[in-house]
Amino acid sequence: MTDAHADSDPDSDLGSGPDFGPGSSSHPPTADPLSPQARRLCDAMTAGFPGPGDTGALRAAATSGSGRAGPAVASVSDTVADGVLVRIYDPAPGPADRPLVVFLHGGGWMMCGPDSHDATCRSLAVAAGAVVVSVDYRLAPEHPWPAAPDDALTVLLWARERARAYRCDPGRVVLAGDSSGGNLAAVTALRAPELVAGQLLFYPPLDASMDSASVETYAEGYFHTAAHMAWYWDQYGGDPEHPHVSPLRAPDLSGLPPALIVLADCDILRDEGLAYARRLARAGVDCAVQLYPGVFHGFLGLPLPAGAAALRAAGAWVAEVRAADPAAAGRPDRPDPHRRAPAEG
């Protein structure tokens, strides 16, 4: 793992994006950059995963999961958060000022749910000593943008209101998500920065244009293909230029909560994550990057040492998140967090 603060060298080349240089090399690697264990797993998963275009087949494949069991927690309960289904993980009795994590699952905005990410949420809850609220947001294409980000914002507001009931500090609410869920976490932080103490983004898609160099380098052969990602964007909908679709295109990232961005080195989305980290750092946001070599997109939920290490490190980061600054609330240059994203015209 490469662990670096994004603002340690503001002139270093951390990836492509607006005003961020050429990014990584677009030439395919001459040797397999995946570890032998990751390569075997990648090839096995690829063989059983449908190509883009068949929503039902993709959902069925995603439902099969990896079979990885998560650690035991004190309680798991399902409830409804102002109309949105959620699953709540409490790792063990703890102090009344614990952090609370609103977790948004990946799956191209159109697959997966709390069941597929059960082990991940259990592991994060235990590692962080935090209550985790897993969001069963509405899926595309039946519910295109802005349904999912609206559900995420609804649960964030609900979680803050009820944090005390779960012995959590309402000022220490962290948004987290993997893949498309990382996009939703970043978008929700943009919409309501004063309500969020931290954002934990695992290999998020951040720009619908998909024009970074890593898209070409890892377009095929690393499970999550460029063709799949392009199709997921199409199914999700929304204006690709809108920052609530493509956070990397947001004109101003100042005032956002601290971020930890966790990336796989062999991933089409790697350079988008690096570019976002660089923009956050330039905007004065406390941002750290953890880049894991030898693994591919989705490694967090797979039986790989890097996945377990990333969850432990993420949990430690969440445990250290301080309460959000109440003085940031109501800034005139920030949108009303209760305002819904505009529907497509």
- Measured distance CA(43)–CA(239) in Å, rounded: 34
Q: Active-site positions? A: 179, 267, 297
Residue where the block lists tokens 């102090």: 95
List helix spans (H) across 192-269: 213-217, 226-236
Contact 125, 206 (CB under 8 A): no
Distance, first Cα to last Cα, the chain:
44
- Measured distance CA(256)–CA(145) in Å, rounded: 22
Contact 105, 300 (CB under 8 A): no
- Measured distance CA(142)–CA(45) in Å, rounded: 26
Give the dihedral of Cα atoms 160, 71, 313, 316; nearest 10 deg: 50
- Measured distance CA(1)–CA(204) in Å, rounded: 18
Q: What is the DSSP string of 4-73?
A: EETTS-TTS----STTS-S-S--SPPSS--S-HHHHHHHHHHHHTSPPTT-HHHHHHHHHH---PPPPP-
List for the chain the helix, strand, coil content (%; round to 5). Answer: 35, 20, 45
Please give the helix or strand (H or E) that residue 260 lies within, else none: strand 259-266
Q: What is the DSSP string of 130-186?
A: -EEEEEEPPPTTTS-TTHHHHHHHHHHHHHHHHGGGGTEEEEEEEEEEETHHHHHHH
SS3 (DSSP) at 83: coil
* CA-to-CA dists, residue 198 to 42, 257, 343, angstroms: 31, 5, 27
